[in-house]
Structure 1
Amino acid sequence: MQTQIGARDITLAKARQDASTIFLAKVFHWMAIGLAITGGVALFTAESGLVKPLIASPLFFILVLAELGMVFYLSARIDKLQPGTATGLFVGYSVLNGVTLSTIFLAYTHASIGATFLVTAGMFAAMAVYGMVTKRDLSGMGSFMFMGLIGILLASIVNIFFKSPALYWAISAIGVLVFVGLTAYDVQKIKTIGEEGIMEQGEVAIRKGAIIGALALYLDFINLFLMLLRFFGGSRD
């Protein structure tokens, strides 16, 4: 009897692990699509010469506000959105972010942007693997990293007025640590969602769960990339 119960527990654990792996694959799939769209749009906007007039126009700030609005709306309304709408918002956000991120091509060389992307991908992959395999509960670290994120935002606003180089580099260093930590936390959280049965809730729940998970990891990657670019980016001047 005990052998049968033990075998059933092992089978159940294996089924949960398989479901979690499939769900994570869907999340990473959509994250990769978002990054590809953003990178392609950013490069096109920069190479086409549209980026300079864009920066000089009020449209740039409208696009930034639209990006923020889309992230908050998608995060807050994901349960009530149709899968197609959620996907459209994610793709739209990726496009808008590509347009606004095209400005980095004015400040940094193509080679340093590419090299920083590779460094970011390596760090992100390492922390994603850690988030998947660690037995440690990272929820406490996630809360701590979120507080760090709030601190970064407030310090960045303050530094707009003080323009302190020391504070700028401190924000950048702390930002790298925060987004590295958030990557591990978010991956573990997504893995847990997969283990808790989202794959049994139907295609609608899976699709929406994958989109919101992809958005979280996409934001972790982009912000980590931007923080690292401050250290590794080669100036075009």
Structure 2
Amino acid sequence: MLFMLYSALTGLTLSSIFIVYTAASIASTFVVTAGMFGAMSLYGYTTKRDLSGFGNMLFMALIGIVLASLVNFWLKSEALMWAVTYIGVIVFVGLTAYDTQKLKNMGEQIDTRDTSNLRKYSILGALTLYLDFINLFLMLLRIFGNRR
């Protein structure tokens, strides 16, 4: 229920992108995002390489992105905005692969008879990947989006 509420609120918030960007650039950026997300999710699901070592680094980079974005709210530096954007793409691409592998590993360890825990992990996993996709989309939209 909370996930659906969050998704609805995010949908309302994200609807403002249709005011700022052209529909064609939103659509093309969505396709690029879906391709990148799908490729990295597939990589995270199928790779034999253990990606868990990247988790702390990606999380710290995510905190850095948030802090730099907050600082840039007052500085209004275009250079910092672009640095955050390109670093953000790298971070969310990495998080997509990492989170997919983490969810796969969790899924292999969960007792499927415990439907309460299974449901909680499913919702948490969906929210995690949803946030990866949305944030990757927004970062790519800054790069490829044509403003009105």
> What TM-score, normalized to structure 2?
0.97
**Structure 1: tracts of 5 or more residues without a match:** 1-87
Q: 2:92 aligns with which of 173, 176, 179?
A: 179
Equivalence for 1:198:
111
Displacement of 1:221: 0.3
> What TM-score, normalized to structure 1?
0.61
Q: 2:21 aligns with which of 108, 113, 123?
A: 108
Displacement of 1:135: 1.2
* 1:208 equivalent in alignment to 2:124: no
* Mapped partners of 2:98, 2:111: distance in 1: 19
Q: 1:158 aligns with which of 71, 84, 87?
A: 71
Percent of residue pairs bearing the same amino acid type: 63
Which runs of 4 or more aligned residues in structure 1 lie more than 3 Å from their structure 2 counterparts after TM superposition? none
Equivalence for 1:234:
146
Q: After TM superposition, list the pairs within 5 Å mapping 1:1-237 onto structure 2.
A: 88-199=1-112, 201-236=113-148
* 1:81-118 superposed Cα distances (whole Å, 9 cap, x missing partner): xxxxxxx1100110000111111111100111011111
**Structure 2: tracts of 5 or more residues without a match:** none
* Mapped partners of 1:198, 1:94: distance in 2: 28
* Mapped partners of 2:77, 2:6: distance in 1: 31
Q: Which has the higher contact order (CA 8 A, sep 6+)?
A: 2
* Mapped partners of 2:31, 2:82: distance in 1: 21
* Mapped partners of 1:97, 1:105: distance in 2: 14
Aligned residues: 148
Q: Contact conserved, 2:110 with 2:118, CA < 8 A, in 1?
A: no
CA RMSD, 1 decimal:
0.9
* Mapped partners of 2:84, 2:111: distance in 1: 37
Letter in 2 for 1:160: F
* Mapped partners of 1:165, 1:197: distance in 2: 46
Displacement of 1:120: 0.4
Higher Rg of the two aligned structures: 1
* Mapped partners of 1:231, 1:193: distance in 2: 34
